[in-house]
Amino acid sequence: MEDNKVDEADEEEYCPTELHQYQFGIFSMWMFIHLLLLQTSSCAGDSGVVNPCCYYPCQNSGVCVRFGTDGYQCDCTRTGFNGENCTDPEFWTRLRLLLKPSPPVVHSFLTNFHWFWNIVNNSFLRDIIMRLVLTVRSDLIPSPPTYNTKYGYLSWESYYNISYYTRLLPPVPKDCPLPMGTKGKSVLPDPKLLAERFFRRKTFRPDPQGTNLMFAFMAQHFTHQFFRTNHDVPGGFTKALGHGVDASNIYGDNLMRQLQLRLQKDGKLKYQLVKGETYPPTVSEVPVHMVYPKDFPPEQRLAIGQEVFGILPGLTMYATIWLREHNRVCDIMKAEHPTWDDEQLFQTSRLIIIGEIINIIIEEYVQQLSGYLLKMKFDPTLLFNARFQYSNRIALEFCQLYHWHPLMPDSFMVDGDEIPYSQFLYNTSLLMHYGVEKLVDAFSRQPAGQIGGGLNSHEAVLKVAEMVVRESRAARVRPFNEYRKKFNLKPYTSFYDLTGNTEMARDLEELYGDIDALELYIGVLLEKTRADGIFGESMVEMGAPFSLKGLMGNPICSPEYWKPSTFGGETGFNIVKKATLKKLVCLNTKWCPYVDFHVPRNEEEAKPKTPSTEL
């Protein structure tokens, strides 16, 4: 264009002829068409042809493999389906689908008919149904792992490099014409707009299942063992060295941190005594890295296995309880094994603690979440004759859907005092001021928020939702409906079908354009909740397989580990097998508060009790 430029000196004399005007018009039109073609080409790839795998043509877990520029094949191996897109069921698959009840039917059966479940829970049928629940759920999670953020195809790196989260579905291909494939808008909605419009709480909505803050803080404390996203490196990396329940939130996620936290005597962890009670030591005594504000008082900087647990008193409360429990178990082990050295006492006690965690999570935490009338049972022997692999990798999708910040209330009620967020965050002094007993009692009585349905997140946690959405996009997580299909759920056909809310559906339609372009995290959080449920169908059907596979895939649940000698004999083995939340608290406190993952169901439950001999 430099040759066509007119000098300023000649500007007045320059008078284009009609021919020049015609040529300029043709040239402008040609440039417009050329730029339009370039834009289309840049969206569809260098060839201008859309990657056929962007249409997600392969159904029923078939794998899309691109051939040439516009060809593809669906690998239907061991899916139970045939055909070009893996849509033709084989004979046995057709029969299974004919007999298999739908997820809503199964859920209804598990949450109704009290008389039937009273019989099941007190007979051999409990073991049979529990084994079925474990195997059916776990079979939905591939083992060994398949994809990660970098590799949307099977590779040795995806299997071997544990610094990545694994993932259930490959990423949205990079060369798709639209962010979510071939449907929806060309630009995804602003995360801040999504948080404000669909997540911000107007009025606190308590969970109708009766879930409380004791559960909410356990959810955070428990999951931060393995949800440790490396935010400094985009692309689905984890800082966790382990991919499951390893109690690293208690002992530290590396050997150096562990050794600093250990007393190096009798297998115990370091501690401080305040008014005769055991609490975590301060950072000045144990110089491990912790995240605290710059002006935070030194005496309140507690040293804990997880560096961010100083942010909430509920997390420091659990850290204190597990510290006391570990040292209590060490005393028991030392009394039975006076010849053991510090290392063996520590390592065996850690295995016992891991066993206690898994037991409490399955029999009480998962029980509360599910709402099932089937009494959940932690018994690794149920799977000893089943095809089951004792390994686990944490999936990016599991990390994404587990951000349950709507659980947090508007303020916190402790011993008659109302504590706002401004006085609750980064205030470890509350732990010593009230004591473990009063915090447990208070958190067990205060209702948590309903997770599903949207519009129930306190403004203090809205930024977390924004962060999840941004990370999801950086990892190119596939649309919500693709995950519905992966977990054998019927994909939604409209936003109203998803939410049951006309206004919310209209806003989502405006922002996303197509239900098949809706993002995973937005889908599971905004989905209409089940009747009197804490969240919708998708969260249960997607989350439960990840959870149960991770819990039962732990090495201590394997035939090689699950025996008395692993836990120092029958005494240690029984601590694991008979663990309960109530025992965990009441064996480590002066008096036994009301402790449960459910708010009190009646006045008798709500009464404070002294430690019982039955513990």
Which amino acid belongs to residue 602?
A: N
Query: Degrees (nearest 5) of the Cα angle 229, 233, 237?
Result: 40
Whether residue 11 has pLDDT greater than 50: no
Confidence (pLDDT) at 232: 74
Segment 557-570, tens digit of pLDDT: 999 999 999 999 99
* 578 pLDDT above the threshold of 80: yes
Mean pLDDT value of segment 534-547:
94
State yes or no: is 326 an active-site residue. Answer: no
Residue 610 has a pLDDT of 60
Distance CA 437, CA 6 (A): 85
Assign 305 a pLDDT band (cuts: 50, 70, 90): very high
Contact 491, 371 (CB under 8 A): no
Give the mean model confidence (pLDDT) for residues 290-299. Answer: 93
Provide the pLDDT confidence category of residue 16 given band limits of 50, 70 and 90. very low
Confidence class for position 31, pLDDT limits 50, 70, 90: very low
Q: Which of 48-52, 195-199, 228-232 has the lowest average pLDDT? A: 228-232
Higher-confidence position of 10 and 260: 260
pLDDT at position 552: 94
Residue with the two structure tokens 């400094």 = 232
What's the first-to-final CA gap in the chain, in angstroms? Answer: 87
Question: Residues 589, 438: contact at Cβ < 8 Å?
Answer: no
- Return the percentage of the chain with pLDDT > 70, whole number: 90
Q: Which of 72, 165, 251, 402 is catalytic?
A: 402
Name the DSSP class of 49. Answer: -
Q: Is the dihedral of CA 319, 321, 324, 328 positive or negative?
A: negative
Q: What span, in angstroms and rounded, lies between the C-alpha atoms of 406 and 457?
A: 4
With 0.95 as the threshold, say if the pTM is over it. Answer: no
Asked if 166 contacts 395 with a C-beta cutoff of 8 angstroms, the reply is: yes
What average pLDDT does this structure show over 277-301? 94
* Number of Cβ atoms within 10 Å of the Cβ of 234: 12
Residue percentage of the chain with pLDDT more than 90: 81
Q: Is the pLDDT of residue 142 over 80?
A: yes
34 among known catalytic residues: no
- Sign of the CA dihedral with 133 first, then 137, 142, and 144 last: negative
User: Looking at the predicted structure, is the pLDDT value of residue 6 above 70?
Assistant: no
DSSP labels, 52-72: GGGG----TT-EEEEETTTEE
Q: Is the pLDDT of residue 540 over 60?
A: yes
| 576-601 as b/e: b if 16+ CB within 10 A | bbebbbbbbbbbbbeebbbbbbbbee
- Residue 25, pLDDT above cutoff 70: no
Average pLDDT over residues 247-253: 94
- Written as one letter, the residue type at 604 is E
Q: Which of 221, 224, 326, 598 is catalytic?
A: 224
Cβ density class 56-85: b for 16+ within 10 Å, e for less = bbbbbbbbbeeeeeeebbbebeebbbbeeb
Using one digit for the tens of pLDDT, what is the confidence trace for 174-186?
999 999 999 999 9
Longest dimension (CA), the chain: 107
pLDDT tens digits for 74-105? 999 999 999 999 999 999 999 999 999 998 99
Report the alpha-carbon distance of residue 402 to residue 521 in Å, rounded. Answer: 9
pLDDT in tens, 430-487: 999 999 999 999 999 999 999 999 999 999 999 999 999 999 999 999 999 999 999 9
pLDDT band at 229 (very low <50, low <70, confident <90, very high): confident
Of 35-39, 191-195, 307-311, 507-511, the poorest mean pLDDT is in 35-39
- DSSP symbols for 125-155: HHHHHHHHHHHHHHTTS-SS--B-SS-SS--
The average confidence (pLDDT) of the chain is: 90
Opening angle at CA 453, ends 413 and 461, nearest 5: 50
Residue-wise pLDDT tens digits, 100-132: 999 899 999 999 999 999 999 999 999 999 999
Calculate ∠ Cα 576-578-582, nearest 5°. 105
CA distance 390 to 303: 32
